[in-house]
Amino acid sequence: MQNTAIQVRDLQKSYKKLNVLKGVNFSVEQGSIFALLGSNGAGKTTLVKILTTLLKQDGGTAIVNGFDVASQPDHVRQAISLTGQFAAVDEMLTGQENLIMIARLRRLKQPRQVADELLTRFGLIDAANRRASTYSGGMRRRLDLAMSLVGTPPILFLDEPTTGLDPEARIEMWKVVKELADGGITVFLTTQYLDEAEQLADRIAILHEGKIIASGTLAELKQLFPPAQKEYVEKQPTLEEIFLAIIGKKEEH
């Protein structure tokens, strides 16, 4: 029995002279929600692309579901799905047609049945026969997520799943992600939103200037918060305060 879904060691990646990942290390337990937190351009999408075999690293190793992303990409692909930062939905097709298309690509036996089950689960059954171009941002995100669950892969990558959603749609998306994890799926998500990591993640890692500068449970990260703030005993530090404190500390050096 293996219980590590993702193991990343000393991962490095540059785009020409731009050194984006400078030796990234972390691991993700099976069935947990792991949030990679980082600001714009920190390298989150780059890391997701490497873990999902879309991009090759320059150095280090990444093992996903027991397989090496560089040497066994086909095995990795069978175990994962990706909901990218930008929706993969075909606007000209209806919600149902989008799902059927993916089910066919994945060679599932009853594509229509699979599609209808997912439409129901994601509250899209009433909109099943409308073109995706008429969907709201939240509906589109849900369809996108449904599309990545066709064939129920054990590891799900979500690159900024709630960017651009209104507060209601975000909360709804959080609920869906929690349900997926409760069902045993491992969720790796990236986010710029501290409250999202705080709400969802079992473990959080902060990517800053090419490295993981802090990682742990929310409680563990809260302990990193400078003791100077302890006078406000009744007020727990938010993840945002921790994030800024850690980044501030790094930039002083």
Ligand X SMILES: Nc1ncnc2c1ncn2[C@@H]1O[C@H](COP(=O)(O)OP(=O)(O)OP(=O)(O)O)[C@@H](O)[C@H]1O
Q: Which one, 44 or 142, has the nearer CB to ligand X?
A: 44
Candidates 6, 8, 20, 89; binder of ligand X (CB under 6 A) is 20
184 binds, among ligand X, Mg ion, none (CB under 5 to 8 A by kind): none
Q: State which of positions 128-187 bind ligand X (CB under 6 A).
A: none
Report whether 240 contacts 191 (CB < 8 A): no
Site string for ligand X, 26-55 (x = CB under 6 A): ------------x-xxxxxxx---------
Return the residues of window 74-133 that contact ligand X according to CB under 6 A. Answer: 85
Name residues contacting ligand X, limited to 191-210 (CB under 6 A).
Answer: 192
For the chain, the distance separating the N- and C-terminal CA atoms, rounded to the nearest angstrom, is: 43
Q: Which is nearer to ligand X, 35 or 127 (CB)?
A: 35
> Which of ligand X, Mg ion, none is residue 86 near (CB under 5 to 8 Å by kind)?
none
CB of residue 54 to Mg ion, shortest distance in Å: 13
Q: Between vectors from CA 53 to CA 142 and to CA 161, what angle results, nearest 5°?
A: 25
Pairing of strands 4-15, 59-64: antiparallel
Q: Is 62 in the site for ligand X (CB under 6 A)?
A: no
> CA–CA distance from 222 to each of 38, 119, 128, 161, 174 (Å)?
17, 39, 44, 24, 22
- The C-alpha atoms of residue 158 and residue 35 are separated, in whole angstroms, by 9
Residue with smaller CB distance to Mg ion, 44 or 140: 44
Interacting residues toward Mg ion by CB under 5 A: 44-45, 85
Alpha-carbon distance of 220 to 204, in angstroms, equals 10
Give which of ligand X, Mg ion, none residue 14 binds (C-beta under 5 to 8 Å, depending on kind): none
Least separation in angstroms between CB 14 and ligand X: 9
41 binds, among ligand X, Mg ion, none (CB under 5 to 8 A by kind): ligand X
Q: What are residue 82's DSSP bridge partners?
A: 157
H helices of the chain, where? 44-51, 73-79, 95-105, 111-121, 137-148, 167-182, 194-200, 218-223, 239-252
Name which of ligand X, Mg ion, none residue 15 binds, using a CB cut-off of 5 to 8 Å depending on partner kind: ligand X
Is the CB of 32 or the CB of 85 nearer to Mg ion? 85
- Of 44 and 203, the one with the shorter C-beta distance to Mg ion is 44
Q: What is the C-alpha separation between 116 and 99, in angstroms, rounded?
A: 8
Q: How far apart are CB 33 and ligand X at their closest, in Å?
A: 19
Give the contacts of 212 (CB within 8 A, at least 6 positions apart).
Answer: 24, 25, 26, 205, 206
Does residue 18 belong to the site contacting ligand X (CB under 6 A)?
Answer: yes
Token couple for 144? 């996108």
Size of the site for ligand X (CB under 6 A): 13
Enumerate binding residues for ligand X (CB under 6 A). Answer: 15, 18, 20, 38, 40-46, 85, 192
